[in-house]
Structure 1
Amino acid sequence: MTNRLTHLNDRGEAHIVDIGDKAVTKRRAVAQARITAEAATVSAIMGGGLKKGDALAVARIAGIMAAKKTSDLIPLCHPIPLTKVSVDIEADGATAITIHATAETTGQTGVEMEALVAASTAALTLYDMAKAIDRAMTITDICLLEKSGGKSGDFARP
């Protein structure tokens, strides 16, 4: 099976993919981002102890807003009607936080980018909220965990 980059035309120029003939299906994607930080930083974020306020609530809203704006940020993404976006944030041991973002739609193109943008933006928001106490935080492991729907079928990260 030969994979072809769909965002390039026959001349190798970037273009938006024509989705007009694609089937309308239910589509779902889950992405993650991870932040590593000092234990005191993770505790402050998760416990609401930051001077800027409730970092978890702000990061969740930022992730949701970002998913809705994905086509404004990623040049060749279609604007799509999202039926659901959720952002879940959990401590991952004493020195890490994991963010899972889920995006869903019923449409002609997938929501992988919306989920990835939501997870990334939530992580960046947490960094912004806590940078005054820990500038050494690291955002890692931004990736697609799973997707369903569409012609390419389902995917689950092993």
Structure 2
Amino acid sequence: MRENKKSSQLDVTFEKAKSQKDIKHIFDHTIDAFSDSPDFSWTLEDIQREVKEGWELYSVSSGKEVIAAIFFKQEGSDLYTKNTAIKMTFQGSGYSHKIKEFFEQKARELGVKKIIHYCRIDNFRMYALNESHNYKKTENKLGEEQQIVEWVKRI
């Protein structure tokens, strides 16, 4: 599934990974974004396990270049979301806002009541982004060292 989101400045495409080949393609083309994202473990095996556990994986592209990867999973009336960092050369251009808009559109399409997003406790860029999109930080912390923070937005 290829979904184009265009604005006057950004040409953003979200494409669902449908096969192991797609997953490998996303990983190979976003290795910089994966390695720049300490929020989660992003090895190829970890990504394949996430998909096996029900997370949908999409590439985020600008033109023909994959610049990030996003994950989401519906459980009941909740949509769980997370994403890699945007490739460094594309940061600060509004792509993270487009990812948030994509998650919110998916939530409306799926009829969920809230979006739950995860990021590392020290990811202050994501904190600011979440707040600008009306997400509220919860007290829940995840991970072995309690370094993953949960954010919620009611739809």
TM superposition score normalised by structure 1: 0.30
Q: Which structure's residues are more often helix, by fraction?
A: 2
Query: More relative contact order in 1 or in 2 (CA 8 Å, sep 6+)?
Result: 1
Q: Which structure's residues are more often strand, by fraction?
A: 2
Instruction: Choose 1 or 2 for highest CA Rg.
Output: 1
TM superposition score normalised by structure 2: 0.31
